[in-house]
A and B are shown apart, each in its own frame.
Chain A
Amino acid sequence: MTSISMTVNGKAVTADVEDRTLLVDYIRESLRLTGTHVGCDTSQCGACVVHVDGKAVKSCTMLAAAAAGSEVTTIEGVANGDLHPMQKAFNDNHGLQCGFCTPGMIMSGIDMVNRYKAEGKTLDEAAIRAELEGNICRCTGYHNIVKSISQAAGEM
Chain B
Amino acid sequence: MSEGIGAPVKRKEDKRFITGAGRYTDDIKLENQAYAAFVRSPHAHANVKSIDKSAAEGMDGVLAVLDGKQLTGDGIGNIICGWAITSKDGSPMNMGAWSALATDKVRYVGDAVVAVIAETKAQAKEAAEAVVVEYEELPAAAHIDAALAGGAPQIHDNAPGNVIYDWEIGEKDPTEAAIAGAAHVTEMDITNNRLSPNAMEPRSAITKYDAAEDHYTLYTTSQNPHVARLVLSAFYAVAPEHKLRVIAPDVGGGFGSKIYIYPEEIVCLWAAMKTKRSIKWTADRTEAFLTDAHGRDHVTTAKMGFDASGNIVGFHVSTKANFGAYMSLFSSAVPTYLYATLLSGTYNIPNIYCEVLACYTNTVPIDAYRGAGRPEASYVVERMMETAAREMGKDPAELRRQNFINEFPHQTPVIMNYDSGDFEGNMNQAMEAADWAGFEARKAESAAHGKLRGIGMACYIEACGIAPSAAVGSLGAGVGLWESAEVRVNPVGTIEILTGSHSHGQGHETTFAQVVADRFGVPLDSVQIVHGDTDKVQFGMGTYGSRSGPVGMSAIVKALDKVEAKVKKIGAHLLEVTEADITIEDGQVKAQGTNKALGWHEIGLAAYTAHNLPPDMEPGLKEGAFYDPLNFTFPMGCFICEVEVDPETGKTEILKFVASDDFGVIINPMIVEGQVHGGIAQGVGQALLEEVVYDESGQQLSASYMDYTMPRADDVPSYDVLHHNTKCTTNPLGIKGCGEAGAIGSPPAVINAITNAIGNNDLSMPATPSKVWAALGAAKIAAE
B176 at the interface (CB under 8 A from A): no
Q: Quick one: CB contact mask for A72-105 with B, threshold 8 Å, 1 for yes?
A: 0011100100010001001110101111111100
Contact A146 B713, CB 8 Å, known A39-B200, A92-B10, A136-B200:
yes
Q: What is the CA–CA distance of A149 and B90 in the complex, to the nearest angstrom? A: 58
Q: Quick one: CB contact mask for B12-51 with A, threshold 8 Å, 1 for yes?
A: 0111111111111011010000000000000000000000
A86 to chain B, nearest CB (A): 8
Q: What is the CA–CA distance of A101 and B24 in the complex, to the nearest angstrom? A: 12
Within A57-74, the residues touching B (CB, 8 Å) are 74
Query: Is A98 within 8 A of B505, CB to CB?
Result: yes
Q: What is the CA–CA distance of A28 and B718 in the complex, to the nearest angstrom? A: 34
B682 at the interface (CB under 8 A from A): yes
Contact A32 B19, CB 8 Å, known A133-B714, A138-B710:
no
Binds A, one of B250-258, B384-392, B617-625: B250-258
Residues in B neighbouring A33, C-beta threshold 8 A: 20
Q: What is the CA–CA distance of A31 and B241 in the complex, to the nearest angstrom? A: 36
Residues in B neighbouring A28, C-beta threshold 8 A: 27
Query: Is A133 within 8 A of B713, CB to CB?
Result: yes
Residues in B neighbouring A37, C-beta threshold 8 A: 24, 200-201, 252
Contact A143 B719, CB 8 Å, known A39-B201, A90-B14, A91-B11:
yes
Residues in A neighbouring B714, C-beta threshold 8 A: 126, 129-130, 132-133
A128 at the interface (CB under 8 A from B): yes
Q: What is the CA–CA distance of A40 and B285 in the complex, to the nearest angstrom? A: 5
A26 at the interface (CB under 8 A from B): no
Q: Quick one: CB contact mask for A89-131 with B, threshold 8 Å, 1 for yes?
A: 0111010111111110010000000000000000001101110
Q: What is the CA–CA distance of A100 and B16 in the complex, to the nearest angstrom? A: 11
Give the contacting residue for B705; candidates A32, A40, A74, A91; CB below 8 A.
A40
Contact A90 B18, CB 8 Å, known A37-B24, A139-B505:
yes
Residues in A neighbouring B742, C-beta threshold 8 A: 141
Query: Is B22 within 8 A of A79, CB to CB?
Result: no
Residues in B neighbouring A44, C-beta threshold 8 A: 704-706, 710
Q: What is the CA–CA distance of A99 and B682 in the complex, to the nearest angstrom? A: 17
Within B702-745, the residues touching A (CB, 8 Å) are 704-706, 710-714, 716, 718-719, 742
Contact A140 B677, CB 8 Å, known A41-B285, A132-B713:
yes
Main secondary structure of the interface of A (DSSP, over half): loop
Residue total for A at the interface (Cβ-Cβ under 8 A): 56
Contact A101 B200, CB 8 Å, known A42-B704, A94-B674, A145-B713:
yes
Residues in B neighbouring A34, C-beta threshold 8 A: 20, 23-24, 26-27
B606 at the interface (CB under 8 A from A): no
Query: Is B286 within 8 A of A41, CB to CB?
Result: yes
Residue total for B at the interface (Cβ-Cβ under 8 A): 58
Residues in A neighbouring B680, C-beta threshold 8 A: 141
B532 to chain A, nearest CB (A): 13
Contact A100 B19, CB 8 Å, known A94-B11, A141-B678, A141-B681:
no
Give the contacting residue for A142; candidates B202, B506, B716; CB below 8 A.
B716
Nearest to A21 among chain B residues (CB) is: B122
B521 at the interface (CB under 8 A from A): no
Query: Is A97 within 8 A of B507, CB to CB?
Result: yes
Query: Is A138 within 8 A of B253, CB to CB?
Result: yes
B284 at the interface (CB under 8 A from A): yes
B383 at the interface (CB under 8 A from A): no
A155 to chain B, nearest CB (A): 15
Max chain B Cβ within 10 angstroms of own Cβ: one of A41, A101, A138, A146: A138
Query: Is B18 within 8 A of A91, CB to CB?
Result: yes
A149 to chain B, nearest CB (A): 10
Give the contacting residue for B678; candidates A45, A97, A103; CB below 8 A.
A97
Max chain A Cβ within 10 angstroms of own Cβ: one of B286, B682, B713: B713
Contact A103 B253, CB 8 Å, known A98-B505, A140-B674:
no
Residues in B neighbouring A106, C-beta threshold 8 A: 18
Nearest to A101 among chain B residues (CB) is: B200
Query: Is A139 within 8 A of B678, CB to CB?
Result: yes
Contact A91 B15, CB 8 Å, known A133-B713, A140-B674:
yes
Q: What is the CA–CA distance of A35 and B20 in the complex, to the nearest angstrom? A: 4
A85 to chain B, nearest CB (A): 11
Contact A97 B713, CB 8 Å, known A83-B19, A90-B14, A136-B705:
no
Q: What is the CA–CA distance of A38 and B25 in the complex, to the nearest angstrom? A: 12
Contact A40 B704, CB 8 Å, known A91-B10, A146-B713:
yes
Residues in B neighbouring A96, C-beta threshold 8 A: 14, 17-18
Query: Is A94 within 8 A of B10, CB to CB?
Result: yes
Q: What is the CA–CA distance of A102 and B452 in the complex, to the nearest angstrom? A: 37
B344 at the interface (CB under 8 A from A): no
Max chain A Cβ within 10 angstroms of own Cβ: one of B29, B705, B716: B705
Q: What is the CA–CA distance of A150 and B673 in the complex, to the nearest angstrom? A: 19
Residues in A neighbouring B711, C-beta threshold 8 A: 141-142
Q: What is the CA–CA distance of A135 and B10 in the complex, to the nearest angstrom? A: 24
A47 at the interface (CB under 8 A from B): yes
Query: Is A132 within 8 A of B24, CB to CB?
Result: no
Nearest to A127 among chain B residues (CB) is: B714
Q: What is the CA–CA distance of A141 and B675 in the complex, to the nearest angstrom? A: 9
Q: Quick one: CB contact mask for B669-692 with A, threshold 8 Å, 1 for yes?
A: 011011101111110000000000
Within B504-525, the residues touching A (CB, 8 Å) are 504-507
Residues in A neighbouring B671, C-beta threshold 8 A: 94
Give the contacting residue for B14; candidates A32, A91, A128; CB below 8 A.
A91
Max chain A Cβ within 10 angstroms of own Cβ: one of B17, B21, B22, B27: B17
Query: Is B19 within 8 A of A98, CB to CB?
Result: no
A23 at the interface (CB under 8 A from B): no
Contact A138 B706, CB 8 Å, known A97-B674, A133-B714, A145-B713:
no
- Residue pairs across A and B with Cβ atoms less than 8 A apart, 13 shown, are A20-B122, A38-B26, A41-B704, A76-B20, A91-B14, A96-B14, A96-B18, A101-B200, A102-B17, A136-B705, A136-B712, A138-B710, A142-B716
By Cβ-Cβ distance, the 8 closest A-B pairs, closest first, are A35-B20, A99-B17, A100-B252, A141-B681, A98-B505, A97-B505, A75-B20, A141-B677
17 additional contacts (CB under 8 A) given A91-B15, A97-B253, A98-B505: A18-B122, A33-B20, A36-B20, A39-B201, A39-B285, A42-B285, A76-B19, A91-B10, A94-B11, A98-B200, A98-B250, A99-B252, A129-B712, A130-B713, A133-B713, A142-B677, A143-B677
Give chain A's interface residues, CB within 8 Å of chain B. Answer: 18, 20, 28-29, 32-42, 44-45, 47, 74-76, 79, 83, 87, 90-92, 94, 96-103, 106, 125-126, 128-130, 132-133, 135-146
